[in-house]
Amino acid sequence: MKLFLKYSKPFAPYVCLGLFIKILGSFSELVIPFILEHIIDVVVPTSDMRAVLFWGVAMIVVSLLTLVLNVVANRMAAKVARNVTEGVRHDLFRRVMYLTAAQIDKLTVPSLESRLTSDTFQIHRVTGMILRMGIRAPILLIGGVLVTLALDPVMTLVMLGTLPLIAVSVLIVSRKGIKLFTGVQDKVDSMTGVVRENATGIRVVKALSKTDYEKRHFDGSNRALVAAEKRAQLTMALSNPLITFFLNAGLAAVIVVGAYRVQGELTKPGVIIAFMSYFTIIANAMIAITRIFTMMTRGIASANRITEVIELNQELTPVENTKKCPREGYIVFDHVDFSYGKMKKTLTDIDFSLTKGGTLGIIGATGSGKSTVIQLLMRYYDADSGAVYLDGRDVRSYTADELYSKIGIVRQNDFIYNDTIEENISFGRDLPHEDIEKAAVIAQAHGFISDIEAGYDHQLTSKGTNVSGGQRQRLLISRALAGKPELLILDDSSSALDYKTDANLRRAISENLGDTTQVIVAQRVSSIMGSDLILVMDEGEIVAAGTHEQLIESCEVYREISDSQLGGAFLE
């Protein structure tokens, strides 16, 4: 409810107008049975046809007025629900974009996707339902009871005997339903994760003939979701039968009591007919209230999940740069330790420095901590101990815009979206075409782009599936270079390039970006052998550091890698 109030506040005048129209429509609906009772008990006995026609026309006019008012109010409610959901979705997406890597690890990407889709959809449904029925149903319920009290207090008391039973049953079922629907959304997260994994890796799945296996994997996740939904729906399904039972029991009691009262001339037939109409209105109002509670159980569960993300504290905020960098260097790691989730240590005592304009190479086995060093340098995470410095400042003292404006980064499998080559390189930065083309020339991409008929206007598919792996990597490198970064990070970004193209790329970067500091994470010795400093990493530690020549002499691990890739005779 708090989420609804927060996001409906900007539309308060519109909401109030819609509710006022809905109130008028509800009151006009309550008038119709009263007119019917007046016609039967007062007008008909007079045999005055003009009076009958007058009140009959009045009844039709009131019915049409009720229809128009409800239609207008419902359209206004739909508009508010749409706008509220748009605001929730906007703020949720914005918050997701500013989540830290650790927060994303905790929440998981599939969960964030389902919160942005299915949970916001539930908010839309609940908001619309509250605005359409949240006022109308209580007015019809309370108004109907008050009118029936005026018509015949005795029969009203008989009818009211069922309402406490209905209220208790709705309360019990709804409280249990909130927990169950929260579980349903968790299962939706799991299924979304399976779908996401298979959509991402569909080519690998097909190549390894694992389609049937993945189908079974999805079926298991789907069955778990169905089971959770079944438990929730069966619980919530108790509401309507219980209400119907209690209402029908009350209606039967009213008819019996009414029959005795008419026979004893304590009431009139028109009152009984009007009473039956009001009882139907009251019954429908109670059913509507039950539906509201049913919808709200899902809505509350979804709202809690959305609020959890929106209200997450902003981690990794800039801190005051009070500690001076302990030594000279554009990049300095000062005895850094780090672990993901404060569990098993990932990096241990990482300590090195690199001068401005220099090149750092990082090599090591998979899982040795190479990419983690990059993530600390970009402050995706904060070090557990020690500090990371960039250009003489602790990276924690930079704002996100300050830090990332200095950096251009390329990962092995980075993001290509469905747009032209030029837009993928520009990436929303409105860069001039000359800068984009120059970056593509340095990245060795201009040649194949020029060979395509549409050139830089060529439309790429999502994830760049209509270009080769090597071409995709060169486009990503072009994107990083186009922003003219002070620091260029290449995180295993040339793995799909042949040795000649890789060599030409390194030469072009050296010739054109001499003042740019480079960090190259690679599996190939050839990609880093020209670096000013090479770190050899193993199990989160730097086991050796130096130039290529120094490491060949002093580090057996590095020498073995070099010999296996380049051949000892070649090196000699």
Q: CB under 8 Å to 127, separation ≥6 — which residues?
A: 4, 8, 80, 81, 84, 85, 299
For residues 9 and 84, what is the distance between their CA atoms, to the nearest angstrom? 9
Cα–Cα separations (whole angstroms), residue 66 to 10, 27, 60, 140, 280: 28, 8, 10, 13, 17
3-state SS track over 372-435? HHHHHHCCCCCCCEEEEEECCEEHHHCCHHHHHHCEEEEECCCCCCCCEHHHHHHCCCCCCHHH
Among candidate residues 363, 375, 151, 115, the one with its CA nearest the CA of residue 275? 151
What is the rounded average pLDDT of the residues 387-397? 92
Lowest-confidence region among 178-182, 276-280, 296-300, 360-364: 178-182
For residues 567 and 560, what is the distance between their CA atoms, to the nearest angstrom? 9
Which residue matches tokens 């107008």? 17
Q: Where exactly are the structural domains of the chain?
A: 2-310, 321-405+532-572
- Contact yes or no for 363/531 (Cβ under 8 A): no
What is the rounded average pLDDT of the residues 203-216? 72
Model pLDDT, residue 327 = 87
Specify whether domain 321-405+532-572 bears CATH 3.40.190.10: no
Among candidate residues 412, 404, 368, the one with its CA nearest the CA of residue 541? 368
Model pLDDT, residue 91 = 92
The strand ranges marked E within 463-516 are 487-491
Q: CB under 8 Å to 428, separation ≥6 — which residues?
A: none
User: What single-letter DSSP state applies at residue 357?
Assistant: T
Model pLDDT, residue 200 = 66
Residue 325 predicted with pLDDT over 80 = yes
Predicted confidence (pLDDT) per residue in 58-114, tens digit:
999 999 999 999 999 999 999 999 999 999 999 999 998 888 888 888 888 888 888
Q: What share of the chain is helix, strand, coil (3-state, %, to 5)?
A: 70, 10, 20
Q: At what angle do helices 239-263 and 163-200 cross, to 10 degrees?
A: 160
Model pLDDT, residue 572 = 38
Q: How many CA atoms lie within 13 A of 439 on its CB side?
A: 26
Model pLDDT, residue 570 = 41
Lowest-confidence region among 203-217, 249-263, 477-491: 203-217
- Any bridge partners for residue 487, and if so which? 407, 517
For residues 14 and 247, what is the distance between their CA atoms, to the nearest angstrom? 36
Tokens of 40: 């039967």
Q: At what angle do helices 163-200 and 269-310 cross, to 10 degrees?
A: 40
Model pLDDT, residue 1 = 65
Predicted confidence (pLDDT) per residue in 145-159, tens digit:
888 888 778 877 877
> In terms of CATH architecture, what is 2-310?
Up-down Bundle (1.20)
Tokens of 172: 């019990």
Rg (CA), the chain: 35
User: What single-letter DSSP state applies at residue 459?
Assistant: B
Mean pLDDT (the chain) is 85
Of the ranges 68-77, 458-467, 487-496, the best mean pLDDT one: 68-77
For residues 299 and 7, what is the distance between their CA atoms, to the nearest angstrom? 14
Among candidate residues 360, 387, 394, 397, the one with its CA nearest the CA of residue 517? 360
